[in-house]
Amino acid sequence: MMASAVSGGPWSEAHKLGFSAAIADLIASRAGDDIKPTARAQQTCKHFERYLTSTEVSTLRDADVLLDIRVEVIANRASKLGLCCPSEDTLGRMCAVISCL
């Protein structure tokens, strides 16, 4: 794809050779890389329930509220806290809040 962009561009032959050499050097330098993508760090929130608003607690305590709404309340609060990759313990706390309130 890059080679076709270089060869089809409005550049002189000298420029095309320079671009081609730079692309080849870049590819050669990256060929031996064993770069592995890093996993996102898990986030810990030891007392998730303390971050709930009184409105959210009222919603969770309401016996008529369906489970999917309860899960949505917890997910929205986690999102607002920036909690997007919770640790196993944090997720357990979040589930406990859903089932205990």
Asked if the structure places residue 38 within a domain, the reply is no
Assess if residue 33 is contained within a domain.
no
Q: Identify the CA nearest to 77 among candidates 3, 63, 101, 64.
A: 101
**Residue 27, domain member (yes or no):** no
* Residue 62 placed within a domain: yes
Split at pLDDT 50, 70, 90, the class of 14 is confident
Give percent above pLDDT 70 in the chain: 85
Q: 70, 59 in Cβ contact below 8 A?
A: yes
Decide if 2 is inside a domain. Answer: no
Q: Is residue 24 part of a domain?
A: no
Other beta carbons less than 10 A from residue 74's beta carbon: 22
pLDDT digits (tens, 9 = 90+) for 53-94: 999 999 999 999 999 999 999 999 999 999 999 999 999 999
The domain of 77 spans 48-100
Tell me if 70 is assigned to some domain.
Answer: yes
Tally of domains in the chain: 1
Residue 43: beta bridge partners? 86
Q: Strand, coil or helix: what is 58?
A: helix
